[in-house]
Amino acid sequence: MKCTNRRKIHKRIAAVLVIAVMAMGLSGCGGSKYTMPYRADSEVSSFNVMTFSADDRVEPFAADLCVVKDDVIPGEEPDMSQAGSAVLFDLNSREVLYSKNAHERMYPASLTKVMTALVALKNASVDQVLTANEKVVVTESGAQLCGIKKGDTMTLDQALHVLLINSANDAALLIAENIGGSTEAFVEMMNEEAKRLGATNTHFANPHGLTDETHYTTAYDMYLIFNEAIKYEAFNEIIHTSNYQTTYYDRNGKAKELNLRNTNGFLNGNVQSPENITVIGGKTGTTNAAGHCLILLSKDVNGAPYISVILRCETGDALYSEMSDLLEEIKK
């Protein structure tokens, strides 16, 4: 009687079990067969995952952005006692120079119009002719208007100038109705763009910024939105304009003249910027609920760019005083 090599038997049994398990895995519980070929050059193979070059790495979302986690207060703190929130960012170095309540939700007032302009520039040509319909009407008392009536026509370029220089709320509705097809659809576009930019503490309810409980943003989110808007040459040209004259037409083709002055004190000559700091432009915003708000693009003596934001300041004088103090941080 021959003796059987138990070790060989065990190896054969193990091999049979492995093959059986593999067969079950490939056939699935329901008996369907799945083909799972392995190639070393597959984009998801362990070979490629372990050996790809640094140039192939995915660029992080915030690689070119300033990131704020907590308040950032320099040694000699600027006077921000009247501001609800404030931020100052060095765009070249992506350094946070100052931050106070950067992620606290607040009403943006007409800083909303930065997003209105951004969505319009992304989705239409500045030469597009806009026609006012019966929905281009603002009834809120004290709201800034340029006097657009049903049937009036102007180009998107004209409307953007009126929107950003004069902060006209009827110009915001004119843009929304024409570019979005309706104000509601345009506001959806604004919120989608906010999500795309990572402005996750922002929600828009209208294109002009008049008070609504569901209409809010943060100083940091406004930086994200403004930082995207300044990529457009047309936007930069408009926010840098101190005075604007134009002619548009009513429903009968009759010319209507507009002569506008920038609401930004640094642009209209009412406020002097700190020495060696040039204010390129920005956007103002004021409502009873939002207080006084301002966002700016500025440059230092070497031409390096900075974005600063103040939300919910008590008064207009305090807004410009504290913004000047904030800009002084650039030189330190």
Active-site positions read 110, 113, 167
Hey, which residues does 216 pair with through a beta bridge? Answer: 203
8 Å CB contact between 306 and 295: no
**Beta-bridge partner residues of 257:** 247
115 and 204 in contact (C-beta within 8 Å)?
yes
Q: How far apart are CA 80 and CA 102, in angstroms?
A: 13
First-last CA distance in the chain: 97
Of 270, 277, 291, 265, which is closest to residue 325 (Cα–Cα)? 277
What is the distance between the alpha carbons of residues 107 and 10, in angstroms, rounded to a whole number?
74
**Exposed (0-12), middle (13-18) or buried (19+): which is 67, by Cβ within 10 Å?**
exposed
Phi-psi region for residue 317, left (φ > 0), alpha (ψ -120 to 50) or beta? alpha
Distance CA 283, CA 112 (A): 9
Q: Which residues of 192-215 are buried (b: 16+ CB within 10 A; e: fewer)?
A: ebbeebebebbbbbbbbbbeeeeb
Pair of tokens at residue 93 = 């170095």
Does residue 56 sit in helix, strand or coil?
helix
